[in-house]
Chains A and B, each alone.
Chain A
Amino acid sequence: MFIMRFTERAYIAYTEADVKNSFRSSVRLTFPNTHFNPELGADLYNEYLDEYQFCEEVGFDGLMLNEHHNTPTCMGAAMNLEAAILARITKRPKIVLLGNPLPIFENPLRLAEELAEIDMISRGRLVSGFVRGTGIESWATNTNPVHNRERFEEAHDLIIKTWTTPGPFRWEGKHYHFRVVNPFERPLQRPHPPIWIPGIGSPETLEWSARHHYPYIYLETDPQVTVQMTELYGKAAAETGYVPGPQNFGYLWRIHVQDTDEKAFEVGKGFLVGNAGIGRVPMPGDFMAPPGYNSREGSKRILEQYKHALKPDALYGGVDAAGWDAVVNSNRVVVGSPKTVIKKIREGLRILRPGILGMWTNDGTISHQDTMRCLQLMKDEVLPAVREMGKELDLPGPFEQAP
């Protein structure tokens, strides 16, 4: 089992009223950056890097980062910079980028160069995840959402060819055109750094990932639906000629541990101001998924495939109605003492059978101090137990068994 640690690196110094008063009451895209204080930002970036650095000592196999734009919910607007720093200040864990939003890059060759540098500086520890990005990323970079999937696939093909085919060569695609593809610095890992694909289960992306043998990382999706999505991946894999195993799947899960259940329950509430923002004011749907971002065929398949899960679940949208108790009781967020957390993780792993476990240890208003205590308890008690579970449940990660 491959165990990685994640946080969105949130900025939280704003109020629910601030969000409500922004254009179309959105915490992303149009939330004015006058609410950002760079002095606090400087402290936060450094604290977040300190935490990731400590995660090597904790024993995590991977340090997972993500990227979003125009939002206080994630300060990783230039994720590759953080990755480059971690590449230099750590020695052992993989640098897991989940992921670079390919469609928004006008020049994917520059991305291929950045990733190659990170791979070399880390001496071959890069895991290069790719994503389509949320609709916000399209808006923020003025990338036409109707071309999102085409650009994702073409940028991917170009980067892989750049890493695996001797240059110089010419690329004349639909969205990208280069007369001399020849980035001089190539990645250290051969044929190229591993590619993982995180997401929330779009059928087209699941099938695409399966066809490429890329592990798919579920971003805290509804467990019941996750099992269905795994079947969809399995079907596409079978058509490609292989049977996927735990090494093909990851699951990202908010898991926060404190010395006692009571304390973890209280501190964990900080997650509620995580990626939905303070006050959980709903975002305009067309900000997250502008017209054309999902193909009409894809949208229909999503509706069909996940019909029963489209009601607001305990984690997204329904949290204010369901309440923190319901979120915790349904294990959509795991909080507790080491003993409680270990028990709950075990239940989840048995059902979902991922070879990659992403532990989203903290977010929102969870303090640096509480986070460091959480990480210490992870080191002392949780991680050793989860490693044993991985063996006992036979959940090999993608570095133990090729996906």
Chain B
Amino acid sequence: MASAEYRECTVNVGDTSIHYLVGGSGTPVVVLHGFDGNPGWLPVYDELARRFTVYAPTHPGFAGSERPPWLESFVDLSRFYLWILQELDLTWTTLLGFSIGGWLAAEIAAMSPATVERLILVDAMGIKPREGEIADIFLHGSEGTRRLAILDPKQVPNYELLFGRKPSTEEREATAINREAAIRYCWKPYMHDPALPFLLPRLHKVPSLIVWGKEDRIVPLESAELYRRALRDAKLELIERCGHLPHLERPAEFLRVVNDFLV
């Protein structure tokens, strides 16, 4: 499915080996993956790599990267990520995060606004809605979560390739590792940080884009609005007929709004 050239690398962060993919050229865009772990080099990265150097790291503890034994919480993860970015020489970068990766991008940015050139949050976890609830992906299990995440499998290019195959032993092992990592960091409070909305106004000078599948059944639209309010002047783009994963379900629309923002 991939076409552009990218490299598979590791970087040592303290005593921890972190895996990442990198490709393209230009100013950096760091893509932060969601709860299912690093999906590899996606077609949308090819498009971004035309104008940017795309970094796609695997979060500590997810399949491919080590977890330092002390790293237990989402805040630990965010703090450690600043160290990862430092070791990658990414001292000023765009962060583009999907789902829990969006939450992670928001936390990193709130901790260190000077590191962040631009912020793009896609169907981001992290802020608890006031009326609705973030769906419990752990309770729904992997299959149930996939059904919730994708509004219409028929409109997902390469759906069979992405989700329809019987997983190999290694892929099953990776899925177990990814689930365990997500549970470790996001179990309680579930998928949010109560302090985050109060820290985000600190980013008033960072250009921010919020992208949301209009029919996201995992993180309600209300969370998008709460992000927009906390990130003063952030732009909110809703993708029609789309669930939790716009970059997989409606990649063309997704790229259009992201390119409009970046260029």
Is B222 positioned at the interface, with any CB of A under 8 Å from its CB? no
Does chain A have a CB within 8 A of B183? Answer: yes
Chain B residues whose C-beta falls within 8 Å of the C-beta of A144 in the assembled complex: 183-184, 187-188
- Give min CB distance, A197 to chain B, whole Å: 25
Interface contact B141-A145, CB-CB below 8 Å: no
Q: Are A146 and B138 in contact (CB under 8 A)?
A: no
Interface centre among B140, B141, B177 (most CB of A within 10 A): B141
Q: Which one of A198-206, A244-252, A270-278, A284-292 is at the B interface?
A: A284-292
- Distance in angstroms from B105 CB to nearest chain A CB is 24
> Within the complex, which residue of B141, B180, B187 is in contact with A284, where a contact is CB–CB below 8 Å?
B141
Collect the chain A residues with CB atoms within 8 Å of residue B144's CB.
24
Complex-state Cα separation, A139 to B138, whole angstroms = 10
**B residues in contact with A24, CB < 8 Å:** 140-141, 144
Residue picked from B173, B177, B180, most chain A C-beta under 10 Å? B180
Q: Compute how far the CA of A139 lies from the CA of B184 in the bound complex, rounded to whole angstroms.
A: 13
Chain A residues in contact with chain B, CB under 8 A? 23-24, 30, 139, 142, 144-146, 284, 286, 290-292, 296
Closest 4 CB pairs of A and B: A291-B179, A292-B180, A144-B187, A291-B180
Identify 25 residue pairs between A and B in the complex whose beta-carbon atoms are under 8 Å apart, listed by A's number.
A23-B139, A24-B140, A24-B141, A30-B139, A139-B139, A142-B187, A144-B184, A145-B183, A145-B187, A146-B183, A146-B187, A284-B141, A286-B141, A290-B138, A290-B183, A291-B138, A291-B176, A291-B179, A291-B183, A292-B179, A292-B180, A292-B184, A296-B173, A296-B176, A296-B180
CB distance from A148 to the nearest CB of B (A): 11
Q: Taking the nearest CB of chain B, how far is it from the CB of A291, in angstroms?
A: 4
B180 contacts across to A, CB distance below 8 A: 146, 291-292, 296
Q: Which residues of B contact A139 (CB under 8 A)?
A: 139
Assuming A144-B187, A284-B141, A292-B183, what are 6 further A-B pairs, CB within 8 angstroms? A139-B139, A144-B183, A145-B183, A291-B179, A291-B180, A296-B176
Smallest CB-CB separation from B186: which chain A residue?
A144
CB distance from B96 to the nearest CB of A (A): 27
Q: How far is the CB of B226 from chain A (nearest CB, A)?
A: 23
Question: Is chain B's binding surface mostly helix, strand, loop or mixed?
Answer: helix
Task: Give the residues in chain A near B183, CB-CB below 8 Å.
Answer: 144-146, 290-292
For window 111-164 of B, CB contacts with A under 8 Å fall at 138-141, 144
Complex Cα–Cα for A286 and B180 (A): 11
Of all chain A residues, the one with the shortest Cβ separation from B141 is: A286
Contacts of A296 in B (CB 8 A): 173, 176-177, 180
Q: How far is B221's CA from A25's CA once the two chains are assembled, in angstroms? A: 29
Q: Whole-angstrom distance between the alpha carbons of A30 and B140 in the complex? A: 11
Q: Which residues of A contact B188 (CB under 8 A)?
A: 142, 144
Task: Give the distance in Å from the alpha carbon of A23 to the alpha carbon of B135 in the complex.
Answer: 14
- Minimum C-beta distance from A59 to chain B (A): 46
Residues of B within 8 A of A146 (CB): 180, 183-184, 187
Closest CB of chain B to A130's CB: distance in Å?
A: 23
Taken together as a complex, chains A and B put the C-alpha atoms of A145 and B180 apart, in Å, by 9
A146 and B176 CA atoms in complex are apart in Å by 12
The closest CB in chain B to the CB of A144 belongs to: B187
Nearest-neighbor residue (CB-CB) of B184 within chain A:
A146
Write the nearest CB–CB distance from A392 to chain B, whole angstroms: 48
Point out the residues of chain A lying under 8 angstroms from B139, CB to CB. Answer: 23, 30, 139
For the complex, give the distance between the alpha carbons of A312 and B138 in Å.
26
A32 CB, min distance to chain B CBs, angstroms: 14
Question: What's the least CB distance linking B188 to chain A, in Å?
Answer: 6
Nearest-neighbor residue (CB-CB) of B140 within chain A = A24
- Shortest CB–CB separation between residue A245 and chain B, in angstroms? 38
Q: Within B171-216, which residues are at the interface with A (CB < 8 Å)? A: 173, 176-177, 179-180, 183-184, 187-188
* CA A290 to CA B173, docked complex, whole Å: 14
In the bound assembly, the distance between CA atoms of A292 and B179 in angstroms comes to 8
- Please, how many angstroms separate the alpha-carbon atoms of A292 and B173 in the complex? 12
Closest chain-B Cβ to A282's Cβ sits at a distance in Å of: 13
Contacts of B138 in A (CB 8 A): 286, 290-291
Residues of A within 8 A of B179 (CB): 291-292
A146–B138 CA distance with the chains assembled, in angstroms? 13
CA separation between A217 and B183, bound complex, in Å? 30
Q: Which residues of B contact A291 (CB under 8 A)?
A: 138, 176, 179-180, 183
Instruction: Give chain A nearest CB distance to B235 CB in angstroms.
Output: 36
In the bound assembly, the distance between CA atoms of A118 and B126 in angstroms comes to 44
Q: How far is the CB of B194 from chain A (nearest CB, A)?
A: 16
- The chain B residue sitting closest to A142, CB to CB, is B188
How far, in Å, is B210 (CB) from chain A's closest CB?
A: 29
Taking CB atoms, residues of chain B closer than 8 Å to A30 are 139
**Complexed CA–CA distance, A142 and B176 (Å):** 20
Query: With A and B bound together, what is the CA distance between A144 and B188 in angstroms?
Result: 8
From B142, which residue of chain A is reached at the shortest CB distance? Answer: A286
Question: Smallest Cβ distance from B184 to chain A, in angstroms?
Answer: 5
